[in-house]
Amino acid sequence: MRYDIRDQLIKRDSQVTLEFDALAPPGTDVEFVGNVTGQITLQNVGGELAVWGRLRAVAVAECGRCLREHAVPLEFEFSETCKFAQIDEPLSYTQVTDEDEPAPIPVLDGDAIDLSELVRQLLVLHLPARSLCRPDCRGICASCGADLNETTCACGSEEIDPRLAPLHELLR
Ligand SMILES: [Zn+2]
Ligand SMILES: [Zn+2]
């Protein structure tokens, strides 16, 4: 995810648009199917970079009801502020002055523009906290553990979030 475009962005108001097509960067804690694709535009707005565009990716998530792994397509538009700072410079992540204002994201790896930290943050931001393998997933029976998508059981319990099942057992 390194691009030799720093020279094209040196002047104020200069702008570069990239077709993005690369593996998801490490550090998202999630697996992705195939590449992250889309379009990213960077513009020098004086000291900082305005960066915007649209990205697509397919994440692999566990179903919130039955825990089955399933593909979750993501597609989103974004607008972020980045800065000419080295990605591996630890200080570049901690200079948050205002809690409501997210810190500009560093985009330099040596002399090249590296968009991996930007894309990593965007993917993490847009992953759903909970997703279902299908809208009508019936989940797992909290009493006997049967996958109610494949079978019915005699317990007749209501649907319970499997992560809450141990608590449910305690309350019985
Ligand atoms: Zn499910
Ligand atoms: Zn059951």
SS (H, E, C) 96-116: CCCCCCCCCEEEEECCEEECH
Please give the distance of CA 105 from its chain centroid, rounded to a whole number. 15
Q: List CB contacts of 32: < 8 A, sequence separation 6 or more.
A: 23, 24, 57, 58, 59, 60, 123
pLDDT beyond 90 at 97: no
Task: Report CA(72)–ligand 2 centroid distance (Å).
Answer: 28
Nearest ligand to the CA atom of 150? 1
Say if pTM beats, i.e. exceeds, 0.75: yes
Eight-class DSSP state of 165: H
- Model pLDDT, residue 29: 87
- According to DSSP, the residues that pair with 75 across neighbouring strands are 56
- 60 CA distance to ligand 2 centroid (A)? 27
What average pLDDT does range 14-26 have in this prediction?
Answer: 96
The two three-digit tokens of residue 8, written as one number:
């094209």
- Tally the residues of the chain: 172
Query: Given pLDDT bands bounded at 50, 70 and 90, which one contains residue 58?
Result: very high
Q: pLDDT averaged over the chain? A: 88
Structure tokens that stand for 15 in this block: 């702008």
pLDDT at 120 over 90: yes
| Cβ neighbours of 45 (radius 10 Å) | 13
pLDDT, position 125: 93
Q: How far is ligand 2, taken at its centre, from the CA of residue 43, in Å?
A: 57
Please report the pLDDT score of residue 161 as a whole number. Answer: 62
- In this structure, of 7-21, 133-147, 154-168, the range with the lowest mean pLDDT score is 154-168
DSSP secondary-structure letter at 164? G
pLDDT for res 103 = 83
State mean pLDDT over 26-38.
94
- pLDDT of 169 reads 64
Query: pLDDT at position 1, please?
Result: 82
Ligand 2 centre distance from Cα of residue 129 (Å): 27
